[in-house]
Structure 1
Amino acid sequence: MKRRQLICLAVAAAVLPAAASAQDAAMTVHKDPYCGCCGAWASAYRMAGYKVEARDEEDMDAFKARLKVPKEVHGCHTGVVDGYYLEGHVPLEAAEKLLRERPALAGLAVAGMPKGSLGMGTDPEASYDVMAVPRDGSTPYVYMAVRPS
């Protein structure tokens, strides 16, 4: 039993600091002042422990252009956290993986406003892709697929 406890403690020590640093990250959510789902998405991150500040933007297209978010992956709002952007309804699991692994990406994106994505209600049949956007401007690719269980 003692060996098992030691292994559990070692695993927890290796995993917890990475998770805590991701969740302690400060995030700025840039959003349309008239959108409700943006606030729901930001609240989910806040409840997960992120320090979230919301900023209303009058011209989201101009803001996304400054960050070089490809038009084909535009979502509703844009979160900026720890040198990455989270475009649209990116789920918590994808953001935590991004912040833990620190790949050479500009950010992650969920194009459009998929039904059942974070901030867009609950739908057990939700199916959408989280796209990785490389820093070098190459083609975005699927980082995480969200599919019904």
Structure 2
Amino acid sequence: MNHRIVFAAAVLAVASAAVPAVSGETMTVYRSPSCGCCGGWIDYIKAKGYAAKVVMLDDMEPVKERLKVPEEMQSCHTAVIDGYVIEGHVPAEAVDKLLKDRPKVTGLSAPGMPQGSPGMSGAPEPFTVYAFGPDGAKPFMRFNVK
């Protein structure tokens, strides 16, 4: 077998593994203009290869209600991509997995504002990203676990 073909195939496999499982749609991120950490998460998600359209809102409550984000799952900003809701400081790895696996859920949430999560400063603390929907919430992925 030609070694150049094998090498090219290996390079292509590695390169495609590094690209997020983005559906080609732009992520729409709703945020308050007064929240600095939201901007940090948007910068992070863009650096991970996602396109983001930012919508500034003074009142986030109507967005969270319309998108059916349960109160216990809420955080500072809310995003939508390919029919899924992404609530708060959810790492790109969880978004990638969501878009690849396509579970029957409303979306993902990193409730509250976990210290050290993408866009948040401070020493990283363990946190859970939850999948939520009409049947409730369940753990989806854990982060910063030693």
Q: Secondary structure at the match of 2:29?
A: strand
Instruction: Provide runs of 4+ in structure 1 moved above 2 Å.
Output: 5-21
Kept in 1, the 8 Å contact 2:76–2:88? The answer is yes
How many angstroms does 1:11 deviate by?
Answer: 9.8
Identity over aligned pairs, percent: 39
Partners of 1:69 and 1:43 in 2: CA distance: 23
Number of residue pairs matched?
145
Deviations 1:73-100 (A, max 9, x none): 1011001111101001101110011011
- What residue is the counterpart of 2:49 in the other structure? 49
Structure 1: give runs of 5+ residues left out of the alignment: none
Alignment of 1:12-23 (within 5 A): 13=13, 16=16, 19-22=19-22
Q: How many Å separate the matches in 2 of 1:20 and 1:129? A: 20
Q: CA RMSD in A?
A: 2.8
* TM norm structure 2: 0.85
Structure that is richer in helix per residue: 1
Q: What CA distance in whole angstroms lies between the structure 2 residues aligned with 1:127 and 1:76?
A: 19
Contact 1:23–1:48 under 8 Å retained in 2 = no
What CA distance in whole angstroms lies between the structure 2 residues aligned with 1:88 and 1:20?
A: 19
Give distance in 2, aligned partners of 1:95 and 1:26: 13
Structure 2: how far apart are the matches of 1:53 and 1:95? 16
Question: The residue matched to 1:140 in structure 2 has which SS?
Answer: strand
TM-score (structure 1 length as normaliser): 0.84
Structure 2 CA distance for aligned equivalents of residues 79 and 86 of structure 1 = 5
